[in-house]
A = this chain, B = another copy of it.
Amino acid sequence: MIQMSLIQIDNYGPWTVTPAPRTESDLQILQAELYADVQRQIAAKKGLVFYTRFDNMLAVTNGLNKEDHMRIQRSIRNRYPITISIGVGAAETPYEAQKLATEALQIKGGAQSKERKEILAIDSLVKEEESYVQIAHIDINGVTESMTDIVPAFDTNFLVNKAQHYLMTKLIEKGALLFFIGGDNFMSPCNGLDSEELLNIIEELKEEINIAHKAGIGRSNNAEDAAYLADLGLEEIRNGGNEEIICLLEDDKVPKDQT
């Protein structure tokens, strides 16, 4: 099972314009630093956060318990002008897990409620022996050569965003999520998605929007190791001259019933 946490800044929208709109550069710095900060704390326990919408961040948090989440909330309260609420859910697929996490938090009040502050709403936590994370690291073939070094920067950005949109559309149907992680790279927490299905998606995209992807898939009992194995998988594909499209690697921490 995969455990996901939804980290939401409390009452952020209204705060950004009180008493007058706050300087945009300050907000951008605040958001980026908050993300880096939460990442550092969640990574200390081998979890992984995606910046998502910045005011709402989704994280794979297998290995983090209630106290770990409370420590993060406390440290943010002590160092930022805002506070964060967190919902946590565990399920067979990432989509289902973030759904439970969201619902647990929504019940406690709205994101722009003045009353709701620093809530920790845990629907469910993954038990150690059931902990299982599958992550795919997907990138676009040859972006640097065919785009970055040739066309205007925004055109490359546009293409990457287009790829993201189509990848998301297809993956969400399979219960998998997709996050942009910089460059031409995406990460997809995707418990339950098999290699064949991901291969089909990549082939469909090649045909439909003419963008070629490849993917390393990693499996472990935590996000950090799964992501690392996915990275290694991608390296193997590159080393093989991109002849393969998918490479799956797993370690011995994967629960028996998942192998």
A-side interface residues toward B, CB under 8 Å?
A: 6, 8, 12-13, 17, 20-33, 35-37, 39-45, 48-49, 51-56, 58, 71, 74-75, 77-81, 95, 98-99, 101-103, 106, 110-112, 144-145, 148-154, 156-158, 160-162, 164-165, 168-169, 172, 177, 181-184, 187, 224, 227-228, 231-232, 234-235
Q: Chain B residues with Cβ under 8 A from A36's Cβ?
A: 28-29, 32-33, 36
* A52 and B144 in contact, given A36-B33, A224-B23 (Cβ under 8 angstroms): no
Q: Chain B residues with Cβ under 8 A from A39's Cβ?
A: 25, 28-29, 32
Q: How far is the CA of A248 from the CA of B23 in the complex (A)?
A: 18
Q: Chain copies in the assembly?
A: 4
Q: How far is the CA of A25 from the CA of B38 in the complex (A)?
A: 10
Q: Chain B residues with Cβ under 8 A from A21's Cβ?
A: 228, 231-232, 234-235
Pull 9 A–B residue pairs with CB atoms less than 8 Å apart, ordered by A: A21-B228, A21-B234, A24-B187, A28-B39, A32-B32, A33-B33, A99-B154, A106-B150, A110-B144
* Complex A-B, nearest 10 residue pairs according to Cβ-Cβ distance, in ascending order: A21-B231, A25-B43, A54-B182, A26-B78, A44-B44, A32-B36, A99-B152, A165-B165, A32-B32, A110-B149
User: Is B183 in contact with A13, judged by CB distance below 8 angstroms?
Assistant: yes
Contacting residue for A172 out of B8, B35, B154, B235, CB 8 A: B154
User: Is A79 in contact with B78, judged by CB distance below 8 angstroms?
Assistant: no
**Residue of B with least CB distance to A177:** B154
Q: Report A154 CB to chain B, min CB distance, Å.
A: 5
Q: Chain B residues with Cβ under 8 A from A110's Cβ?
A: 144-145, 148-149
User: Is B183 in contact with A53, judged by CB distance below 8 angstroms?
Assistant: yes
Q: Chain B residues with Cβ under 8 A from A234's Cβ?
A: 21
Q: Chain B residues with Cβ under 8 A from A149's Cβ?
A: 106, 110-111
Q: How far is the CA of A156 from the CA of B32 in the complex (A)?
A: 20
**Residue of B with least CB distance to A233:** B21
Q: Chain B residues with Cβ under 8 A from A20's Cβ?
A: 232
User: Is A228 in contact with B12, judged by CB distance below 8 angstroms?
Assistant: no
User: Is A182 in contact with B27, judged by CB distance below 8 angstroms?
Assistant: yes
Q: How far is the CA of A162 from the CA of B168 in the complex (A)?
A: 9
Q: How far is the CA of A156 from the CA of B98 in the complex (A)?
A: 12
